């Protein structure tokens, strides 16, 4: 059975909507399943942010050692640890990029976006690279506001966290849109961005910074779920509502690498407040993602 058909079977059995793109770097073999369909990136949009930081590092307009003070108004709902720290903390830009990627810290992300010139600076760079299918309109704080009713969107973070334990998000909110007014990409476009990052887009020292961070990823239970122990994956996940994404480059050998983007979506609304059923469904979705990751690994593992 071809890899495309294996992927289709896994997606169908899991009952998910998915966009999948595969690019074996050394052979230039590419394939996809629904790879040109737009999906909300969720936190995989932090890869375009990292790429924009690399561009500005290359141009010498920013420094990894620059310290960026944390203010209370920077603190964002969602993943991360910075909301629990006292304002006045001054992490370096390198610290913020690391937090943004390896634990998907939303507060660190928004601080980086502001430091780089705002959301449109990131989107503009993607389009400059020819990645016209990647749109980035909203930082984390703004994105998550659109998952909430307007009457609660401006509450303090602590109150918002409490509210979300008792109420569902707006399933028709902007953050779930697949249009260019949201942060969206196709799987093929994300693979092209990762291919540029891996290639000669940036000097070797800047490229090394990006991949040093990406290889420290702490969330390894999607693409990497069933890969052999010790397999290196430079990756970034994304999660919001029923969206489960993962994008990265798998190292199969010294001269053997494959790029894989998995964008998936499932109907979370009926079970958002049923912990057992919700946990089981997430397990099923992420297991399907892991099976795709393993199928891609097995397809190219002998290509050295």
Asked if 260 and 297 touch (Cβ cutoff 8 Å), the reply is no
pLDDT at 7 exceeding the cut of 70: yes
Record the tokens describing residue 283, joined without a space. Answer: 């397990």
Average pLDDT over residues 279-297: 97
Instruction: Residue count of the chain, please give it.
Output: 304
How far apart (Å, rounded) are the C-alpha atoms in residues 75 and 260?
A: 32
pLDDT at 237 exceeding the cut of 80: yes
Average pLDDT over residues 274-301: 97
CATH domain 3-300 topology: Beta-lactamase (3.40.710)
Q: How many CA atoms lie within 13 A of 219 on its CB side?
A: 23
Place 167 in a pLDDT band, splitting at 50, 70 and 90. Answer: confident
Residue bearing the bigger pLDDT, 299 or 165: 299
Please state, for a pLDDT cut of 70, what percent of the chain lies above it. 99
Average pLDDT over residues 62-81: 92
Q: What is the chain's mean pLDDT, rounded?
A: 95
pLDDT at 157 exceeding the cut of 80: no
6-20, 164-178, 254-268, 275-289: the lowest-pLDDT one: 164-178
Regarding pTM above 0.75, the answer is yes
Average pLDDT over residues 271-283: 95
pLDDT at 304 exceeding the cut of 70: no
Record the tokens describing residue 83, joined without a space. Answer: 């909301």
Average pLDDT over residues 237-246: 96
Task: Name the β-bridge partners of 110.
Answer: none
Given this model, what pLDDT does residue 188 score?
98
DSSP string, 44-76: GGHHHHHHHHHHHHHHTSS-TT-B----GGG--
Of 119, 114, 117, 113, whose CA–CA distance to 138 is shortest?
119
Place 165 in a pLDDT band, splitting at 50, 70 and 90. Answer: confident
Reported as a single tens digit per residue, the pLDDT across 46-57 is 999 999 999 999
Record the tokens describing residue 12, joined without a space. Answer: 């169908």
Reported as a single tens digit per residue, the pLDDT across 118-136 is 999 999 999 999 999 999 9
List the beta strands (DSSP E) in the chain: 17-24, 29-33, 38-40, 184-186, 232-240, 243-253, 256-265
Of 265, 231, 230, 270, whose CA–CA distance to 248 is shortest?
231
pLDDT at 33 exceeding the cut of 70: yes
Reported as a single tens digit per residue, the pLDDT across 173-231 is 899 999 999 999 999 999 999 999 999 899 999 999 999 999 999 999 999 999 999 99
Asked if 235 and 289 touch (Cβ cutoff 8 Å), the reply is no
Which residue matches tokens 């993602």?
A: 289
């Amino acid at each position: 059975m071809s890899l495309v058909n294996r992927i289709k079977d896994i997606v169908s059995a899991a009952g998910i909507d998915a966009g999948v793109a595969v690019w074996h770097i050394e052979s230039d073999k590419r394939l996809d399943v629904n790879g040109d369909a737009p999906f909300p990136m969720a936190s995989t949009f932090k890869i375009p942010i990292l790429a924009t930081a690399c561009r500005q590092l290359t141009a010498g307009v920013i420094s990894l050692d620059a310290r960026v003070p944390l203010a209370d108004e920077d603190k964002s709902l969602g993943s991360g640890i910075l909301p629990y720290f006292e304002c006045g903390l001054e992490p370096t830009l390198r610290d913020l990029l690391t937090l943004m990627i390896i634990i998907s810290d939303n507060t660190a992300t928004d601080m980086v976006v502001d430091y780089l010139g705002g959301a449109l600076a990131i989107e503009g760079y993607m389009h400059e690279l020819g990645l016209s299918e990647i749109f980035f309109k909203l930082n984390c704080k703004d994105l998550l506001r659109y998952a909430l009713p307007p009457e609660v969107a401006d509450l303090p973070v602590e109150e918002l966290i409490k509210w979300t334990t008792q109420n569902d998000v707006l399933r028709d909110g902007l953050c779930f849109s697949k249009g260019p007014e949201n942060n969206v990409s196709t799987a093929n476009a994300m693979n092209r961005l990762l291919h540029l990052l891996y290639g000669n887009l940036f000097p070797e020292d800047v490229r090394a910074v990006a991949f040093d961070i990406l290889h420290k990823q702490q969330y390894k239970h999607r693409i990497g779920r069933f890969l052999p122990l010790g397999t290196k994956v430079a990756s970034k996940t994304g999660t919001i509502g029923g969206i489960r994404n993962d994008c990265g480059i798998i190292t199969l050998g010294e001269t053997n690498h494959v790029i894989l983007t998995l964008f998936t979506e499932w109907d979370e609304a009926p079970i958002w407040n049923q912990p057992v059923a919700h946990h089981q469904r997430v397990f099923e979705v992420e297991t399907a993602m892991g099976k795709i990751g393993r199928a891609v690994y097995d397809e190219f593992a002998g290509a050295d």
